[in-house]
Amino acid sequence: MRRLCLALAAFALPPSLPAEDLGAMWGTAAAEAKYYPVVNIPIPTTVPLRPGGLEVLPDGRLAVGTRRGDIYFVTGAFATPPKPEYHLFATGQDEIFSLAWRDGAMISTSFGEVTRISDLDGDGVADRYETLSNNWGYAEGHEFAFASKPDAEGNVWIALGLSGSYESHNLFRGWAVKVTPDGRMIPVCSGLRSPGGVAANAQGAMFVIESQGPWNGCCSLKPLKPGAFLGHPASYNWYPYTADLKAPVKPNSNSRLTVERARVAELVPPAVRFPYIKMGRSISGFRLDTTGGKFGPFSGQFFLGDYTLSIVLRATTEQVNGVWQGACYPFREGLATGLMNVEFSPQGQLVVGGFTTNTQWPVRGTEPFALQRLDWSGLTPFEVKEINIRPDGFLLTFTLPVDPAVAADPANYAVSTYTHIYQGGYGSPEVDQTEPRVLKAVPSADGLSVRLTLAKIELGHIHEFDFAKVRGRDGAPLLHTKAYYTVNEIPPK
Amino acid sequence: MTCPANPADRRPLTRRLFVLVLLGLAVSAPAEVSLPGIAQAKLEPAAKGRLLLEELNCVACHRSTDEAKAASKQAPRLSDVANRVNPGYLAPFIRDPHAVKPGTTMPAPLAGLTAAEQTSAAEEISQFLLSTQPSRFAPEAPDAVAAAQGEKLFQARGCAACHSPRDPQGRETLAATSVPLGALEGKYSFRSLVDFLRQPHISRPSLRMPDLRLPARELECIAHYLLRDTVVPGHLNYTMYRGQVWEGIGHEAVEPERAGLTADFTLANLDRIHHHLAVRFEGWINLPAAGDYTFSLKANGATLTVDGKEVVALAPKDRRGPQAIEGKATLAAGWRKLRLDYYHTGREPSLAFNLTGPGFPRGPIPSTMLSVSDRPIAPFRAPTLDPTLVARGRERFAQLGCARCHDDLGVNSPEATPLAKLTPEQGCLATTPSQGVRFDLSVEQRGWIIAALRAGPATVASPEQTLHAELARLNCLACHERRELGGIPPTRNALFTGTAPALGDQGRLPPPLSDVGAKLTPAALEAALLQGHRQRPYVDAAMPQFGEANVRRLIALFAEVDHLETVKPPTIANLQESRNAGYEMVGAKGFSCIACHDFNGQKSAGAGALDLVNLTQRLQKNWFHLYMRSPQRFHPGIIMPNYWPGGQSLRPDVLGGDTDQQIEALWRYLETGKQAKNPAGLSRQSKELRVTDVAEIARGRSSIGYRGLAVGYPGRISLAFDTEEMALRQLWKGEFANVDLGSFQPRALDTMASLPAGVPFHRLKSLEDNWPAKGKTTFGFPQNLGYQFRGYDLDAARRPTFHYEYGEVKVDDRFEDMVDAAGAAFFRRTLRLTAPAGTTPFTFRVAAGTKVSATGPQAYAADKLRVRLIASPAAILREGELLIPLTLPAGTTTLTLDYQW
Residue at a domain's end among A351, A374, A397: A374
| Residue A217 forms part of a structural domain | yes
CB contact under 8 Å between B490 and A91, yes or no, is no
CA quadruple B689, B691, B694, B700: dihedral sign: positive
Please report residues of B whose CB lies closer than 8 A to that of A241.
779-780
| Residue A13 forms part of a structural domain | no
Phi/psi of residue B669, nearest 5 degrees: -70, -45
Angle (CA) B813 B893 B891, round 5°: 115
SS percent in chain B: helix, strand, coil, step 5: 30, 25, 45
| Residue A23 forms part of a structural domain | no
pTM of the complete model: 0.66
H helix or E strand, kind and range, residue B445: helix B443-455
Which candidate in A16, A28, A93, A94 is best for mutational testing of the B interface (most B CBs within 10 A)? A94
CB contact under 8 Å between A130 and B569, yes or no, is no
Alpha carbon distance B290, B359 (integer Å): 10
pLDDT of A24: 62
Distance from CA of B38 to the nearest CA of A (A): 24
Query: What average pLDDT does this structure show over B692-709?
Result: 94
Alpha carbon distance B882, B871 (integer Å): 16
Taking CA–CA distances from A13, the nearest residue in chain B reads B567
Interface subset of B 757-786, CB within 8 angstroms of A: 776, 779-780, 783
Alpha carbon distance B676, A128 (integer Å): 51
DSSP per residue over B63-122, as a string?
---HHHHHHSPPPPP-TTHHHHS-HHHHHHHHH-HHHHSTT-S--BTTTTS-HHHHHHHH
Alpha carbon distance B128, B156 (integer Å): 40
For B150-181, the pLDDT digits (tens) are 999 999 999 999 999 998 888 889 988 999 99
Is the same domain home to A447 and A482?
yes
Please report residues of B whose CB lies closer than 8 A to that of A9.
568, 570-571, 658, 660-661
Answer whether B649 touches A (CB < 8 Å).
no
Q: Does residue B250 contact residue B280 with C-beta atoms inside 8 Å?
A: no
For B803-824, the pLDDT digits (tens) are 999 999 999 999 999 999 999 9
Name which of B804, B833, B813, B824 is nearest B894 in CA terms. B833
Is the same domain home to A351 and A450?
no
Please report residues of B whose CB lies closer than 8 A to that of A108.
none
Is the same domain home to A415 and A347?
no
CB contact under 8 Å between A2 and B656, yes or no, is yes
| Residue A493 forms part of a structural domain | no
Q: Does residue B650 contact residue A364 with C-beta atoms inside 8 Å?
A: yes
Query: What average pLDDT does this structure show over A13-23?
Result: 31
Angle (CA) A118 A122 A127, round 5°: 40
Strands A96-102 and A85-90, by their bridges, are: unpaired
pLDDT of B31: 64
CB contact under 8 Å between B630 and A18, yes or no, is yes
Please report residues of A whose CB lies closer than 8 A to that of B641.
23, 281, 308-309, 362-364
Strands B309-314 and B370-371, by their bridges, are: unpaired
Query: What average pLDDT does this structure show over B330-351?
Result: 88
Ramachandran class of B864: left when φ > 0, alpha when ψ lies in -120 to 50, beta otherwise: alpha
Query: What average pLDDT does this structure show over B14-38?
Result: 56
Answer whether B183 touches A (CB < 8 Å).
no
| Residue A3 forms part of a structural domain | no
Taking CA–CA distances from B696, the nearest residue in chain A reads A92
Alpha carbon distance B805, A133 (integer Å): 13
Q: Does residue B597 contact residue A363 with C-beta atoms inside 8 Å?
A: no
Provide the b/e sequence for B485-499 (b: ≥16 CB within 10 Å). Answer: bebbeeebbbbbbbe
| Residue A106 forms part of a structural domain | yes
Residue at a domain's end among A330, A347, A374: A374
Please report residues of B whose CB lies closer than 8 A to that of A169.
776
Which candidate in B701, B711, B721, B810 is best for mutational testing of the A interface (most A CBs within 10 A)? B701
| Residue A85 forms part of a structural domain | yes
Query: What average pLDDT does this structure show over B742-762?
Result: 92
Please report residues of A whose CB lies closer than 8 A to that of B803.
130
Please report residues of A whose CB lies closer than 8 A to that of B596.
362
pLDDT of B158: 95
DSSP per residue over B725-755, as a string?
TTEEEEEEESS-EEE-SSBEEES-GGG-EE-
Q: Does residue B153 contact residue B146 with C-beta atoms inside 8 Å?
A: no
Alpha carbon distance B164, B168 (integer Å): 13
- Dihedral of the alpha carbons of B471, B472, B477, B480, in degrees to the nearest 10: 0
Strands B352-357 and B236-243, by their bridges, are: unpaired
Query: What average pLDDT does this structure show over A349-359?
Result: 86
Taking CA–CA distances from B711, the nearest residue in chain A reads A92
Order the strands of the A198-200 sheet from edge to edge. A198-200, A206-210, A219-223, A272-274
Q: Where are the beta strands (DSSP E) in A111-265?
A: 114-118, 128-133, 145-147, 156-160, 176-179, 185-189, 198-200, 206-210, 219-223
CB contact under 8 Å between B645 and A112, yes or no, is no
Distance from CA of B27 to the nearest CA of A (A): 36
Which candidate in A120, A128, A366, A420 is best for mutational testing of the B interface (most B CBs within 10 A)? A366
Any idea how long chain B is?
Answer: 901
CB contact under 8 Å between B606 and A169, yes or no, is no
Taking CA–CA distances from A132, the nearest residue in chain B reads B790
Is the same domain home to A223 and A317?
yes
For B220-271, the pLDDT digits (tens) are 999 999 999 999 999 999 999 988 887 888 888 889 999 999 999 998 888 7
- Dihedral of the alpha carbons of B639, B645, B647, B650, in degrees to the nearest 10: -100
Task: With a cut of 60, say whether residue B302 has pLDDT above it.
Answer: yes
Q: How confident is the model at residue A361 (pLDDT cuts 50, 70, 90)?
A: low
Q: How confident is the model at residue B682 (pLDDT cuts 50, 70, 90)?
A: low
CB contact under 8 Å between A68 and B739, yes or no, is yes
Return the amino acid letter for B565.
Answer: E
Q: How confident is the model at residue B426 (pLDDT cuts 50, 70, 90)?
A: confident
CB atoms within 10 A of CB A468: 12
Alpha carbon distance A186, A180 (integer Å): 8
Which candidate in B699, B739, B776 is best for mutational testing of the A interface (most A CBs within 10 A)? B699
CB contact under 8 Å between B639 and A421, yes or no, is no
pLDDT of B769: 87
The percentage of residues in chain A with a pLDDT greater than 90, rounded to a whole number, is 87
Phi/psi of residue A339, nearest 5 degrees: -85, 130
pLDDT of B651: 85
Give the one of B502, B594, B779 whose C-beta lies nearest to A241's C-beta.
Answer: B779
Give the one of A17, A112, A253 whose C-beta lies nearest to B629's C-beta.
Answer: A17
Domain count within chain A: 2
CA atoms within 13 A on the CB side of B872: 26
Is the same domain home to A365 and A293?
yes
Is the same domain home to A343 and A410?
no
Query: What average pLDDT does this structure show over A296-316?
Result: 96
Task: With a cut of 50, say whether residue A6 has pLDDT above it.
Answer: no
Residue at a domain's end among A324, A354, A374: A374
User: Distances from the Cα of B521 to the Cαs of B516, B609, B675, in angstroms?
Assistant: 9, 20, 21
Is the same domain home to A106 and A136?
yes
Give the one of B605, B661, B700 whose C-beta lies nearest to A359's C-beta.
Answer: B605
Interface subset of B 459-518, CB within 8 angstroms of A: 490-491, 493-494, 501-502, 504-505
Taking CA–CA distances from A307, the nearest residue in chain B reads B641
Phi/psi of residue A75, nearest 5 degrees: -95, 155
Please report residues of B whose CB lies closer than 8 A to that of A164.
501-502
For B599-657, the pLDDT digits (tens) are 887 777 667 788 998 899 999 999 999 999 988 888 877 878 888 888 888 888 899 99
Is the same domain home to A158 and A112?
yes
Phi/psi of residue A389, nearest 5 degrees: -85, 150
- The CATH number for A408's domain is 2.60.40.1220
Query: What average pLDDT does this structure show over A18-22?
Result: 28
pLDDT of B748: 81
Alpha carbon distance B828, B869 (integer Å): 10
The percentage of residues in chain B with a pLDDT greater than 70, rounded to a whole number, is 95
CB contact under 8 Å between B697 and A91, yes or no, is yes
Provide the b/e sequence for B531-569 (b: ≥16 CB within 10 Å). Answer: eeebbbebbbbbbbbbbeebbeebbebbbebbebeebeb
CB contact under 8 Å between A128 and B793, yes or no, is yes
Is the same domain home to A104 and A191?
yes
pLDDT of A19: 26
Distance from CA of A335 to the nearest CA of B (A): 12
For B455-493, the pLDDT digits (tens) are 876 667 899 999 999 999 999 999 999 988 888 998 899
Residue A249 makes CB contacts below 8 A (sequence gap 6+) with A263, A264
CB contact under 8 Å between B633 and A18, yes or no, is yes
CA quadruple B428, B432, B437, B440: dihedral sign: positive
- The CATH number for A187's domain is 2.120.10.30
Max intra-chain CA distance, chain A = 75
Residue B769 makes CB contacts below 8 A (sequence gap 6+) with none
Alpha carbon distance B283, B294 (integer Å): 18
Give the one of A5, A137, A359 whose C-beta lies nearest to B779's C-beta.
Answer: A137
Alpha carbon distance B614, B612 (integer Å): 6
Is the same domain home to A368 and A425?
no
Answer whether B286 touches A (CB < 8 Å).
no
Which candidate in B1, B577, B632, B634 is best for mutational testing of the A interface (most A CBs within 10 A)? B632
Which candidate in B515, B591, B706, B777 is best for mutational testing of the A interface (most A CBs within 10 A)? B706
Please report residues of A whose CB lies closer than 8 A to that of B594.
358
Provide the b/e sequence for B662-688 (b: ≥16 CB within 10 Å). Answer: bbbbbbbbbbeeeebeebebbeeeeee
Any idea how long chain A is?
Answer: 493
pLDDT of B694: 92
Is the same domain home to A258 and A401?
no
Taking CA–CA distances from B586, the nearest residue in chain A reads A358
Is the same domain home to A303 and A431?
no
Cα distance from N-terminal residue to C-terminal residue, chain A: 69
Max intra-chain CA distance, chain B = 109
Mean pLDDT of all residues belonging to chain B: 89
Strands A482-486 and A462-466, by their bridges, are: antiparallel
Alpha carbon distance A146, B285 (integer Å): 59
Interface confidence (ipTM) of the complex: 0.92
| Residue A437, domain extent | 384-486
Angle (CA) B146 B148 B154, round 5°: 95
How many helices (H) and strands (E) in chain A?
Answer: 4, 32
Alpha carbon distance A299, A483 (integer Å): 18
CB atoms within 10 A of CB A178: 24
| Residue A27 forms part of a structural domain | no
Q: How confident is the model at residue B588 (pLDDT cuts 50, 70, 90)?
A: confident
